[in-house]
């Protein structure tokens, strides 16, 4: 189970890589492994704003549908268009080519409220 | 402690654990949903060979001088047509012609039959049969004694070749695996050539591992219920509890060829004759997306010209066809191949077509 140290995590299995006021968002290795083969994603459009915890889209595997929640509040500025033709990238490389979108943080204090890699590891390995 | 009911485990539970299976609840059983990937396991069955633990399924033995005539009164198909060693798909119906269960009835001897029923329906089927029991018939629920494995795929006969002369389609034979007697039927739920093996539960780990070893050079993979579902939806085989229920008849499900209305009286016959005369209101149809869409799922509603005409009872993303597919009951007027429909998914409508069944047919 990969849980990179430089990321922050949510209880609902999203990760965010903060870089100044921009954060890159995806779902965790644990999440992709639990979902199984991912075949379809519904991602937010660039320009849409979300509150922390709000549903931004869905990820669908062969067997199930799961919501993608915003790890922080902000405006989506870029969406990973590569996933349209290869949703399986989320399975193969959840922290790399399987990233979902980039968000401009509305309130960078929210980052501190997220789980560290060790908190998240404790949660999923429980 | 959790409040969840204790799930039943098959004799292969430890083998699944060793193989790292992801487990899921199905019909009260703790079953593998996949080992590595539903999609990869699906393709293994379509292209090579796959193995499924189907020990959750039930087995009921019916014997006695009156067994044949009694079965003909409680099942929809005609057991008179079965030679010894032959099986047929058939239905256990209620008085309204609704489906209690779909099953396969094998004729083992002149007056001895072996029924293979759905896991979640074992007790209900058995209770219904006992209630309808008459003299000269002995019923035995031997579900807990048997384990079962399905070996499915174009290379399944190669894998099984070691065990002797294999049965032909829909037939069952007693064959030995090592020194152990097993019943081997040439049946399945995938749309491919394949076999279903029945044997005492204690032999399960040995037979499972023996098959995995024999199948290694053929590319065999252990497969879970996830691919069992995608395979059967492509082949348009119904799943009881989803596509079949006590409120749907075999005529509505498009399975009239497994009902013999001419054989004489049987439970549900009167209702089916009346329905046939009046013509059915809805029909179970196969659907396929004609544009990029999310995977189809049960209960998604279907529309024609903005009017709701039915809903899906099964659905998935077809690994073979690469698009959303499903089964659903449509108003009879629209249940024709070529009919364009719309399927609503999270408030958006996607284009789909009613297709001829099955959605996938193996090429020989």
Q: What is the mean pLDDT of residues B62-89?
A: 98
Decide: helix, strand or coil at residue B41: helix
Q: Encode pLDDT of A72-123 as tens digits.
A: 999 999 999 999 999 999 999 999 999 999 999 999 999 999 999 999 999 9
Q: What is the ipTM of this complex?
A: 0.90
pLDDT of residue B131: 95
Q: Encode pLDDT of B9-20 as tens digits.
A: 999 999 999 999
**Which residues of chain A from 14 to 73 reach within 8 Å of chain B, CB to CB?**
36-37, 39-40, 42, 58, 60-63, 65
**Distance, in angstroms, between B231 CA and closest chain A CA?**
12
Whether the bond between B358 and the residue before it is cis, its omega within 30 degrees of 0, is yes
Decide: helix, strand or coil at residue B273: helix
Q: Encode pLDDT of B148-177 as tens digits.
A: 999 999 999 999 999 999 999 999 999 999
A/B interface, count of CB pairs below 8 Å: 37
Alpha-carbon gap, residue A11 to A25, rounded angstroms = 14
Strand (E) positions, chain B? 22-26, 29-34, 50-53, 58-63, 87-93, 99-109, 112-117, 138-141, 146-152, 172-177, 180-185, 194-200, 221-223, 282-289, 301-304, 307-317, 324-331, 340-345, 348-355
Confidence of residue A126 (pLDDT cuts 50, 70, 90): confident
pLDDT of residue B4: 63
Q: Encode pLDDT of B230-254 as tens digits.
A: 999 999 999 999 999 999 999 999 9
Q: Does residue B124 surpass a pLDDT of 80?
A: yes
Q: What is the mean pLDDT of chain B?
A: 96
Q: Does residue B356 surpass a pLDDT of 80?
A: yes
Alpha-carbon gap, residue B105 to B116, rounded angstroms = 7
**Distance, in angstroms, between A106 CA and closest chain B CA?**
28
Q: Encode pLDDT of B176-202 as tens digits.
A: 999 999 999 999 999 999 999 999 999
pLDDT of residue B3: 57
- B295 contacts in chain A (CB < 8 Å): 39-40, 60, 62
Cβ of A37 and B38 within 8 Å? yes
pLDDT of residue B364: 57
Residues 6 or more apart in contact with residue B1 via CB below 8 angstroms: none
Tell me, letter by letter, the H, E, C secondary structure of chain A: CCCCCCCEECCCCEEEEEECCEEEEEECHHHHHHHCCEEEEECCCCCCEECCCCEEEEEEECCCEEEEECCCCEEEEEECHHHHCCCCHHHHCCCCCCCCEEEEECCHHHHHHCECHHHHHHHHCC
pTM for the model: 0.95
Q: Encode pLDDT of B1-11 as tens digits.
A: 455 678 999 99
Q: What is the mean pLDDT of residues B132-147?
A: 96
């Amino acid at each position: 189970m990969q849980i990179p140290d430089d990321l922050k995590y949510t209880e609902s299995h999203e990760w965010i890589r903060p870089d100044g006021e921009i954060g890159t968002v995806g779902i965790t290795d644990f999440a992709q492994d639990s979902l199984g083969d991912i075949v379809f994603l519904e991602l937010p459009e660039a320009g849409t704003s979300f509150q922390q915890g709000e549903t931004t889209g869905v990820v669908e595997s062969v067997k199930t549908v799961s919501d993608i929640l915003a790890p922080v509040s902000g405006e989506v500025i870029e969406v990973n268009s590569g996933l349209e033709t290869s949703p399986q990238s989320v399975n193969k490389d959840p922290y790399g080519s399987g990233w979902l979108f980039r968000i401009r943080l509305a309130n960078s204090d929210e980052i501190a409220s997220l789980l560290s890699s060790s908190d998240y590891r404790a949660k999923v390995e429980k | 402690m959790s409040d969840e009911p204790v799930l039943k485990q098959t004799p292969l539970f430890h083998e699944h654990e060793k193989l790292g299976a992801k487990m899921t609840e199905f019909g009260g059983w703790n079953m593998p949903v996949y080992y590595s990937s539903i999609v990869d396991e699906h393709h293994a069955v379509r292209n090579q060979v796959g193995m499924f633990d189907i020990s959750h399924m039930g087995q009921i033995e019916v014997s006695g001088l009156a067994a044949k005539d009694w079965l003909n009164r409680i099942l929809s198909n005609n057991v008179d047509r079965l030679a010894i060693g032959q099986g047929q798909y058939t239905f256990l119906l209620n008085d309204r012609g609704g489906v209690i269960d779909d099953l396969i009835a094998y004729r083992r001897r002149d007056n001895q039959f072996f029924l293979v029923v759905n896991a979640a329906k074992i007790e209900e089927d058995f209770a219904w049969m006992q209630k309808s029991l008459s003299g000269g018939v002995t019923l035995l629920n031997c579900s807990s004694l048997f384990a079962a494995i399905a070996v499915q795929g174009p290379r399944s006969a190669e894998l099984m070749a070691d065990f002797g002369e294999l049965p032909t389609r829909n037939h069952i034979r007693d064959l030995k695996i090592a020194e152990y007697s097993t019943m081997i039927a040439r049946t399945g739920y995938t749309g491919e050539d394949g076999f279903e093996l029945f044997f005492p539960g204690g032999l399960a780990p040995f037979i499972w591992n023996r098959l995995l070893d024999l199948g290694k050079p053929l590319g065999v993979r252990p497969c879970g219920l996830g691919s069992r579902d995608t395979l059967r939806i492509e082949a348009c085989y119904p799943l009881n509890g989803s596509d079949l229920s006590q409120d749907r008849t075999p005529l509505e499900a498009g399975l009239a060829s497994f009902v013999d209305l001419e054989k004489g009286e049987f439970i549900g016959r009167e209702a089916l004759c009346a329905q046939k005369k009046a013509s059915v209101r809805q029909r179970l149809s196969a659907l396929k997306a004609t544009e990029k869409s999310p995977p189809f799922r049960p209960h998604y509603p279907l529309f024609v010209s903005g009017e709701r005409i039915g809903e899906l009872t099964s659905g998935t993303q077809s690994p073979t066809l690469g698009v959303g597919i499903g089964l659903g009951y449509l108003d009879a007027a629209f249940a024709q191949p070529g009919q364009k429909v719309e399927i609503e998914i999270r408030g958006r409508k996607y284009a789909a077509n009613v297709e001829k069944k099955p959605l996938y047919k193996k090429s020989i």
